[in-house]
Chain A
């Protein structure tokens, strides 16, 4: 039955055997009798506190031995002077740690820059480890007025950049005046800063350590947005502060424009804006001062090895007053090939890695834990579904007969009943996760309830057949498949990009299941850029992707919002309709417009109302089933975490999602090696 699957499984088994053999021959670096048990969560704090080196007994804070030596040589001011008056006190997961060690990670080259972004998670505020709330980081706190139009951010007095220069409100104002409002750098200002009337929100300096944002309408997504302004995607749109004292030399508001253009040409750039966009990112320009726990040590993401060294001015301490980070250095090693990175993980050559770990290697990784000297954690995502089938609601403009079917809710419900989700779970997801619709996880406040999480997920081919008969698909062709109402051949196409998981296997099972109820479909495996292009031109009927935005339906580009770009192939012409204010594209029906109403209301509402609206949104989403969920709550997306046996303070479970910058939200600066 699953011929294609068997074939891929054969390969998979082959690779597994190969990996096992390699793993089996790997020299075991860890001595056999080593105490593998991690210290209990309530590890006696005093005992652990004795561990860090004991320099500068006079001061309030303590520091890493390598920094103490530099202080002794007079190369660095004492730690008490380097830290702000009120440093961030970082809670520790298991206990107070020891200084030292190198955290080895793998990365896939220059376009894997977000690997860096996720490790340092250098933003004004951060998401908490479980992802449920926003917590202080560079900013020590904030408040807002009653209607959420004015937000005031408080910075830390005496906080410094990694070169020792003070970090003040001017660094935020530089971003606002010289990056966001500069039309050359930002032809269109970042969306989160734009008011509903199209004007840009104002940012003012109240004093050196206080900054005020004023919007023209309530903005409850402000903190969520701010928590992601960390230079992600190496995009200047994702900044909310920059080292003014350093960046001014690259900006025509401060230096002679002609000289700047000449400098840009000399360095190989076409324009000063191109040069600025590179110079402003620490991982592209190691000279750029940073506020992160580790700063690049002369290398960049385009090097074979990208090394980060501890920032001597990092503004956080542990509860005992030891300056963080504990770990001296983070080393990213370049792998040209993802599978090579996975093999390195199996061989225990990486200390902490979830990114690029292939979920299908999970059994191999677990098998080799002891030999490789690591343990494997799973951090499933916020819910949703790890393989969904999205039905194009505007395909009718391309093919009326097929398009009408895709738009028919009963047709989609019938196809959902026809899917054997247990088979998908076993064969494509190694038995991990659960069959479910694309809604958040049960522990999430936005969870709409079991009724919707499991609606239409029973495997019931008889019911599917009845429903298909009921909507008039009663005629069959000579191969036994149902024909279109107009008598023509019905042939659905499922477009698949082999991106995260065995989505082609999922699609193959779905095709077999649908054939059992008389619906002919075929899988088209496409290169992703082509798939993306066909999606934009309204040429896809059905696509397989994952629903990973259920934790954040009101910020970023949620896949439930027909306006999202990039989004899935929900309705490319609906999106056009919204983009052009109704002059082009196709007007959405009321039930699609309802999604937009819910999302827009939530963006202006307080937290409690937001939760109500989110639950309503997901009930509406499942009831209409534009997107059929298969299996969810697996660790597919960067959720298989390979952790060195000696690495401590890594939480057993954590919120895992891109907006949280996982593992950034688990605070890697408090990880340490127990050796």
Chain B
């Protein structure tokens, strides 16, 4: 079979599966979000009482009816799915606003932060990996190895706390949030963009640290596998310059496993980090998801999780396509 046709059919199959998978995920998401004891109202009442307020039973019942929480689980699910099928992501119980509005408000900054992080990670990790592998057991290699182990082993929220403090101490800036106080609710302007750039680098570095370390380790290991293969010796014997040789052949091969992870970034771009973003007080989707889950705001959490699932499926598909495009061996296997 022609490789092109094979790929087309493969992609079509995957896309056809998407609605079925989403349907299954939607049930799982809904059931799991509802799994903890109580419902949105018990969580809400608990939160109210934690700040000194209390509600009587009549009020609680009225709210339960207002939100439709008095109905059986499957009816609630059908109502939710019904709205989604009509292209409506539903209404957040906690925020009392449409979910689509809440998500889209935070989408731009979440994706921006994700792209920054992604760029930072790849721009740093690949060269470090190559350097480490080609200069194995050199000072530089040991240096990066130690650096990487620290990066992998330190929880990112801890890094966030330490860097927050350092930035405060030495630069005198408050690094929580993505904007200074005067720009938080201002309309977009040149000043606001500059202000964003002033703030976004720190979360990007923190979030990228862990990924950089991991990616550099993988890159180093992959490349080391390739560097001792006969074709490298051959090319070297033929007099190819060392840098050209390494970059043109082994690096391309070593990138393969990494490319297969690119697709995973798609859902990550959407949700961003949860814990670090909460610690750093970032207005992204992650903290909103965390909050929706702890408050059992199942419509908002469900909407986010569902989009996340859809992006994960699409991301895997994109990875597969990229891989096939990058590696002729995979393309040919199909035929």
Contact = CB atoms under 8 A, between A and B. Distances in A.
**Chain A interface residue count: which class?**
35 or more
A267 to B, nearest CB: 8
Interface stretch (B9-17, B60-68, B122-130, B144-152): B60-68
B50 A237 contact: no
Interface string A329-355: 000011111001000000101000001
A500 B96 CA distance: 26
Contacts of A37: none
Given A188-B58, A355-B51, A21 B174 contact: no
Interface in B284-309: 287, 291, 295-296
Given A25-B172, A268-B98, A336-B281, A235 B91 contact: no
B88 A114 contact: no
B302 to A, nearest CB: 15
A529 B46 contact: yes
A56 interface: no
B169 interface: yes
Interface stretch (B37-45, B233-241, B245-253, B323-331): B37-45
A111 B288 CA distance: 13
Given A237-B59, A270-B68, A278-B96, A340 B281 contact: yes
B52 A657 contact: yes
B165 interface: yes
A304 B50 contact: no
A658 B53 CA distance: 6
Given A109-B291, A532-B38, A532-B42, A114 B51 contact: yes
Contacts, number: 144
Contacts of B282: 336
Contacts of A303: 185
B2 interface: no
B32 to A, nearest CB: 15
B37 A529 contact: yes
B97 interface: yes
A347 B62 CA distance: 42
A178 to B, nearest CB: 16
Contact of A25 (B91, B168, B181): B168
Interface string A276-311: 011000001000000000000001001111010000
A18 B36 contact: no
Given A110-B94, A268-B97, A302-B97, A235 B63 contact: yes
Interface centre among B51, B91, B281, B296, by most A CB within 10 Å?
B51
A233 to B, nearest CB: 6
A18 B176 CA distance: 15
Interface of A: 18, 21-22, 25-27, 109-112, 114, 186-191, 232-235, 237, 267-270, 273-274, 277-278, 284, 299, 302-305, 307, 333-337, 340, 347, 349, 355-356, 497, 499-500, 527-533, 548, 556-557, 565-566, 579, 637-638, 657-658
State the 9 A-B residue pairs at the shortest beta-carbon distance, nearest first: A268-B98, A658-B52, A529-B38, A528-B46, A188-B58, A25-B169, A305-B185, A302-B95, A533-B37
Given A337-B281, A566-B54, 8 more contacts: A25-B169, A111-B44, A111-B48, A114-B53, A190-B59, A302-B96, A303-B185, A529-B36
